[in-house]
Structure 1
């Protein structure tokens, strides 16, 4: 995962799949699937690959996500 990637993840806390693009802060628009590279989720999945499970910790309640697809 890197800046500009389109990523599909599985949120293990609720088994929901989500697809989003990782963009710079200025382009961020979470309601339209554009997630800033400085968010806790984006930061934790950067430099990981399909199949990796990552724990998002800089949030009130930590949760795991699995990377399903990267474009």
Structure 2
């Protein structure tokens, strides 16, 4: 069974690489040091410092595994290789809901880069799924949880 591909922007991949480096070279050594110090306190059965450090170690190691997996199967999307009017990962799309006047603008990014409050939505989101592959001028039906609505794509930018 093939592994999942992780579409992302070049910027997103660079951020993941930096995060992995930080996890391995900064966070992991700090946690190991905390564990050593906590062990020196003696009885581990009632040592909350040790338990806390082991929990943190587990979180750090889990995140390292996830980031390594994502980088291993990363698919950096080159938005420049796609039709300039076509919505794809890495592009900014502006649309207006049919019957409304206020346009909305989002950049479609890989799931780990998602930051809706800053205008970056995951390629796995219902909105992005409906828009991907569509072109400027098209009207698209979006079906998020809670109902359907139609939008007209006004602009697609790199």
TM-score, structure 1 as length reference: 0.92
Structure 2 unaligned regions, length at least 5: 1-86
Q: 2:113 aligns with which of 27, 39, 59?
A: 27
Query: Are the aligned partners of 1:28 and 1:36 in contact in 2 as well (CA < 8 Å)?
Result: yes
Q: Cα distance 1:13–1:40, how it changes in 2: closer, same or farther (>3 A)?
A: farther
Work out which of the two has the higher radius of gyration on C-alpha atoms and give 1 or 2.
Answer: 2
Residue 44 (1) aligns with residue 119 (2): no
Structure 1 residues 2-53: Cα deviation after superposition (integer angstroms, max 9, x where no partner)? 0001100101253320111000010000000001001101000100100100
- How many pairs align? 71
Which runs of structure 1 show a deviation greater than 6 angstroms over 4 or more consecutive aligned residues?
A: none
TM-score, structure 2 as length reference: 0.43
Q: Partners in 1 of 2:120 and 2:143 — Cα distance?
A: 21
Residue 67 (1) aligns with residue 153 (2): yes
Residue 18 (1) aligns with residue 101 (2): no
Alignment RMSD (CA, Å): 1.1
Structure with the greater relative contact order (CA < 8 A, sep ≥ 6): 1 or 2?
1
Q: Which has the higher strand share?
A: 1
